[in-house]
Amino acid sequence: MRPPHFWSAGLDPRSREAAPLTRALLTPLAALYLWGLERKLAKAEPVAAPVPVICIGNLTAGGAGKTPVTEAVRARLAAAGLRAASLSRGHGGTEPGPLRVDTAQHGFRQVGDEPLLLAASGEAWIGRDRVAAAQAMAADGVDVIVMDDGHQNPSLKKDVSLVVIDAGAPFGNGHVLPKGPLRETVRGGLARADAVVLVGAGPVPAEVSASGKPAIRAALVAEAPPPPGRLVAFAGIGRPEKFFDSLTAAGADLADAIPFPDHHAYSGGDLTFLTRQAEDLGAALVTTTKDHVRLPAETRAKVSAWPVQLRFEEMAALDAALAPILNRTSPR
């Protein structure tokens, strides 16, 4: 689904855009959602995995940058000589897991788009049952598990929890689902975190400063210039406008920018529309690497993927957050 406009920050709460009546009607549902989550967290007895677990989570519904952070943290651990593997739920896939993702055998309809993307650059596993998946990964010889998402899932004990926040749009309108984009209260989520990863430009949110948790700065950096010529960009991610703005900032000539819902499975009709739009505008199609893996094989060759990579401003700050793992875990 696309995020409702009234989830955005900075709207006059009495304005039509802010949908005051809709928000009022959603208040009881938001309270019920929050009550259920807090009850689940309070009653949970997390199971300790045989190996350390690092959780890369967030406080909002999509768009913060968890998967690029997961990839970067996994790469840092691998550089230290550890066999680090990511663990995802496999959102949108038919396979329950636990299983190791193989890009030669699996597609996004089986394992989900994010695990497939993570498998292209390192070792990636999926498992709807996080505990069973962690045990299978440890039995296979994995040294450290980097869990993509799961900050609100208490089933598996976390040794280090990093909360990813989009510095440009931290908490939306400040309300909990479905009244706003928050998965839980900011204070409650930060209380269980060891550090915060702020992705992109923007000030450190006051809530993060008040929490006393370290803030690690990071940015998504393009691996190459945008494709030349006029472009029609499309994206089905948490915040498609971030992709469009990045392309423009990098000098791309955007003839059109078309958003889709997060994790969107592109239909034949979607692809026909996109192709015709590009042809009418004398442009080529470009999308994110995450969207590219969701395209049919015969279409991928006709669409450019513009890859970006997450880079930390100071690796020392990341290493400090990962110190409990780096200092106690020996490479095999």
Q: How confident is the model at residue 12 (pLDDT cuts 50, 70, 90)?
A: low
Percent of the chain with pLDDT over 70: 96
What pLDDT, on the 0 to 100 scale, is given for residue 138? 98
pLDDT tens digits along 68-94: 999 999 999 999 999 999 999 998 889
Element at 85 (helix H, strand E): strand 84-88
pLDDT tens digits along 29-39: 999 999 999 99
H-only helix segments in the chain: 20-43, 66-79, 108-111, 113-119, 130-139, 186-191, 206-211, 240-249, 268-281, 289-292, 297-300, 315-326
Does the pLDDT at position 332 exceed 70?
Answer: no
DSSP 250: T
Residue among 266, 242, 53, 8 nearest 149 (CA):
53
Whole-number mean pLDDT of the chain? Answer: 92
Q: For 53-220+311-326, which CATH class?
A: alpha beta
Q: Quick one: how far is CA 91 from the chain centroid?
A: 11
What pLDDT, on the 0 to 100 scale, is given for residue 18? 67
Return all residues near 158 (Cβ < 8 A) that are at least 6 apart.
46, 53, 54, 55, 147, 150
Write down the pTM of the prediction: 0.90
What pLDDT, on the 0 to 100 scale, is given for residue 29? 96
CB atoms within 10 A of CB 122: 17
Does the pLDDT at position 181 exceed 70?
Answer: yes
One-letter amino acid of 153: N
The span from the CA of 254 to the CA of 240, in Å, is: 14
What pLDDT, on the 0 to 100 scale, is given for residue 156? 97
What is the number of helices (H) and of strands (E) in the chain? Answer: 12, 13
What pLDDT, on the 0 to 100 scale, is given for residue 258? 96
Does the pLDDT at position 60 exceed 70?
Answer: yes
The span from the CA of 30 to the CA of 322, in Å, is: 34
Give the end-to-end CA distance of the chain in Å, rounded to a whole number: 43
pLDDT tens digits along 220-269: 998 889 999 999 999 998 888 889 999 999 999 999 999 998 889 899 99
Q: How confident is the model at residue 14 (pLDDT cuts 50, 70, 90)?
A: low
pLDDT tens digits along 136-175: 999 999 999 999 999 999 999 999 999 999 998 899 999 9
pLDDT tens digits along 103-139: 999 998 999 999 999 999 999 999 999 999 999 999 9
